[in-house]
Amino acid sequence: MKNLPIYLLFTLLFAVACDNPDVGEDPVEVASKVTWTLPITTDSDEARSLFLAGVHANDMLRFDDANDLFKRSIEIDSTLAIAHLYAATTASSSNEYRRHLQHAVSLIQRAAAEEQMLIMAERNGFVSNVEGQLSLCLQLTETQPRSPRAWLALAAVHTDLNHADASRESFTRAVSLAPDFAGAYMQFGNNYLFVEPRGLFQAEEFFRTAIELEPDEPNPYDLLGDAYRAHGNLDEAYVAYTQAAERAPENGLPLQQRGHVNSFLGNYAEARDDYSRSIELELERGNNTAAFFEVYKAYTNLHAGDPATAISELKEIADRPYDTLEGSDDIKINALTSIAMIAMHEGDFDTAEETLDERAILMRGQSGLSGVEEFVRNQEANITYFEGIFAAHKKLHAEATAKAREYASLVEPDPNPRKLEPMHEIMGMNEYVKGNYQEAVRHLTQGDLTDAYLKYFRADALERAGDTDRANQLFAELSTWNFNDVGFAIIRNDVLSRTGSL
């Protein structure tokens, strides 16, 4: 299911900001560790060192640290366009992301050609011009074929397009150019973890290499825990997240990850304890991550078979005032999206409709602040998508079909080969509810094949259409997915029951 669009080219999927206790380390010393072969247009050595220190923190997925260092670099040299770009990609809210990206674009004439390519690639991603994004990253590798950063940027775009072979070829080029660059192995491992065809043992190997290169960093251990989760080795994942927590005792992320493991193990009290402690740590750090972790705490109720309590706790999150907190609308939209999905699945259409209306108001408010036509249009597409899924669930079949067509019309200008996947998802859900299971499979197979919630309906439609072998294969894959989002939390118990895993 589609949530808010994510445009952060350099920020890995499924990673949450994580700080390191050594935030006070000398930026000049940290900068010396960074593999960076691209221009940095500034006359200030201090701004350059702060920027490179931020790059290292970003490579290690310590996005809060990185964002602070990029902003400090900008304080020294406000014209450093590449620092504004990276401040955008490590931002804690969509509004902050847009502000810094706009600054980067406004300063582009001061930047070197390679910096301009990176900035405009990100800008193209923001406005859903994926073909333009890919073209610029290809151009960057042609201009700087010896730069691992260029190949990582290209790999990220190929990953977003589900180009498994091309993305892995680019990652291979990056690690061959910089064999001691832990961040490249972390990104490469994440690719094998989530992009089909998945390679879980390859992912684990790359994360172990990153640990060898950066043994004091928490997030290589965190990623190793993800690999264990994907294997179904939940006990080993628990240990890896505990090792990450030991290396970042002031950070809530590793305990939040351990909370997922406890949720999957059925240790719901322990899961809520882990989530509660992770929330406390994030509140002490004064950022907005705690509110996002609270959503996962609410999901424990879904895993325990109590969707009504999950909705109640999510409503508490959505109803709180966050006026002084960066990203307040993002927090509310995130909680409202979860409420709507649970309510739709449970047939509570009054709650779902009310929630989607509230969500749409907030998203349109963000659109008004952006001043970017393409962003406004894509926000409307996202709203329309959920209206279509809602109509399908409610058996408003003509309305669902109309919403699918409206979605297609809204994204028609986007140079993005994946732009019609959500249209097929609406149509697939609509055909499923009608009982036209072969048509449902046809459409859902043209949607996002990595989405666990949609995969569940594809599997069920295959089973109802008589293709039990393919259905059983998908259900088996879902039974060990073990990555916690609202869609998976909704369907996991039924999947485990069908596969005899409960």
Which pLDDT value is given to residue 32? 57
Q: Could you write out the DSSP letters of every residue in 258-314?
A: HHHHHHHHT-HHHHHHHHHHHHHHHHHHTSSHHHHHHHHHHHHHHHTT-HHHHHHHH
Residues 6+ apart with CB under 8 A from 345: 307, 393, 490
Please give the structure tokens belonging to residue 99: 């502000």
Residue 8 pLDDT exceeds 60: no
Whole-angstrom distance, CA of residue 466 vs CA of residue 336: 36
Q: What is the pLDDT of residue 323?
A: 72
Give the C-alpha distances (Å, rounded to integers) separating 474 from 164, 389, 429, 430: 20, 22, 17, 20
Say whether pTM exceeds 0.85.
yes
Categorize the per-residue pLDDT at 1 as very low, low, confident or very high, splitting at 50, 70 and 90. Answer: low
Smallest CA-to-CA distance from 15 within 266, 142, 183 is with: 183
Q: Is the confidence at residue 10, as pLDDT, over 80? A: no
The more confidently predicted of residues 40 and 17 is 40
Task: Say whether pLDDT at 48 is over 90.
Answer: yes
pLDDT score of 185 more than 80: yes
Count of CA atoms in the C-beta half-sphere (13 A) of 420: 11
Predicted pLDDT of residue 6: 34
pLDDT above 50: residue 406: yes
> What mean pLDDT comes out for the span 456-475?
98
- Average pLDDT for the chain: 93
Q: What is the pLDDT of residues 209-262, one digit of tens each?
A: 999 999 999 999 999 999 999 999 999 999 999 999 999 999 999 999 999 999
pLDDT-above-90 percentage for the chain: 89
pLDDT over threshold 80, residue 481: yes
Q: What is the pLDDT of residue 28?
A: 66
Average pLDDT over residues 281-288: 91
Distance between CA atoms of 275 and 269, rounded to whole angstroms? Answer: 10
Mean pLDDT lowest for which of 7-21, 155-169, 225-239? 7-21
Average pLDDT over residues 289-312: 98
Arithmetic mean of pLDDT, 449-469: 98
Banded pLDDT at 326 (limits 50, 70, 90): confident
Of 436, 462, 458, 434, the C-alpha closest to 446 is 458
Contacts of 89 (CB under 8 A, 6+ apart): 8, 9, 10, 11, 58, 97, 122
When pLDDT is averaged across residues 313-335 and rounded to a whole number, the result is 92
63 pLDDT exceeds 80? yes
Q: Do 365 and 329 form a contact (C-beta atoms < 8 A)?
A: yes
pLDDT value at residue 18: 39
* Whether residue 413 has a cis bond before it, omega within 30° of 0: no
Annotated domain spans of the chain: 1-192
Instruction: Using the predicted structure, report yes or no on whether residue 15 has a pLDDT greater than 80.
Output: no
Identify whether the C-beta of residue 217 lies closer than 8 Å to the C-beta of residue 182.
yes
| CATH top class, domain 1-192 | mainly alpha
Selected residue with higher pLDDT from 24 and 63: 63
Of 71-80, 162-171, 262-271, 369-378, minimum mean pLDDT range? 369-378
- CA distance linking residue 115 with residue 43, whole number of Å: 15
